[in-house]
């Protein structure tokens, strides 16, 4: 593994150290590695422009959050053109719920959907994966 020296403002470094403490990172290096990976992923997203995409969007939220579940239903309807499927799963012992959406559209469609899910409220954690439709391999038989 390479070692680098980075200069940065004291207030930014202080916030990084708070992340290490609050989110239980092994140290500053782990925070910088994760930030780098996220940045690379964001730039890679630019290569997805003008391509048809499939996205798997997952939202995790507290059990029996009626307002969140109502919002998930609204999103399914307002993005009906892009939503290919949607499912709800309750985590055992009422520890939470998972809403999964399969979205088909261009990068704008997917970004708008993800942003709307993220905007539900601060209780909702959102993750997504993207696959360009043109990357699907044709059968060799």
Q: Where on the chain is the footprint of Zn ion (CB under 5 A)?
A: 90, 97
Sheet holding 125-132, edge to edge: 83-91, 96-105, 53-61, 125-132
- Which DSSP state fits 27? S
d(CA 36, CA 42) in angstroms, rounded, equals 10
d(CA 141, CA 127) in angstroms, rounded, equals 35
d(CA 92, CA 8) in angstroms, rounded, equals 44
In the complex with Zn ion, which residue's Cβ is closer, 62 or 132? 62
Minimum CB separation from Zn ion for residue 68, in Å?
10
Whether the CB-CB separation of 136 and 104 falls below 8 Å is answered with: no
In the complex with Zn ion, which residue's Cβ is closer, 40 or 90? 90
In the complex with Zn ion, which residue's Cβ is closer, 53 or 68? 68
In the complex with Zn ion, which residue's Cβ is closer, 39 or 90? 90
Minimum CB separation from Zn ion for residue 113, in Å?
20
Minimum CB separation from Zn ion for residue 85, in Å?
17
The angle formed by the CA atoms of residues 91, 93 and 97, to the nearest 5 degrees, is 25
Minimum CB separation from Zn ion for residue 61, in Å?
9
């Amino acid at each position: 593994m390479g070692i680098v020296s980075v200069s940065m403002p004291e207030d930014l470094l202080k916030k990084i150290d708070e992340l290490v403490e609050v989110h239980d990172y092994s140290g500053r290096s782990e925070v910088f590695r994760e930030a780098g990976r996220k940045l690379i992923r964001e730039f890679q997203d630019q290569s997805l422009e003008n391509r048809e995409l499939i996205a798997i969007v997952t939202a995790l939220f507290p059990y029996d959050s009626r307002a969140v579940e109502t919002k998930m239903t609204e999103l399914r309807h307002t993005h009906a053109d892009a939503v290919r499927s949607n499912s709800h799963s309750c985590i055992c012992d009422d520890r939470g719920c998972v809403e999964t959406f399969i979205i088909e559209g261009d990068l704008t469609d997917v970004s708008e959907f993800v942003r709307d899910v993220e905007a539900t409220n601060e209780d909702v954690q959102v993750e997504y994966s993207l696959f360009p439709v043109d990357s699907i391999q044709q059968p060799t038989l």
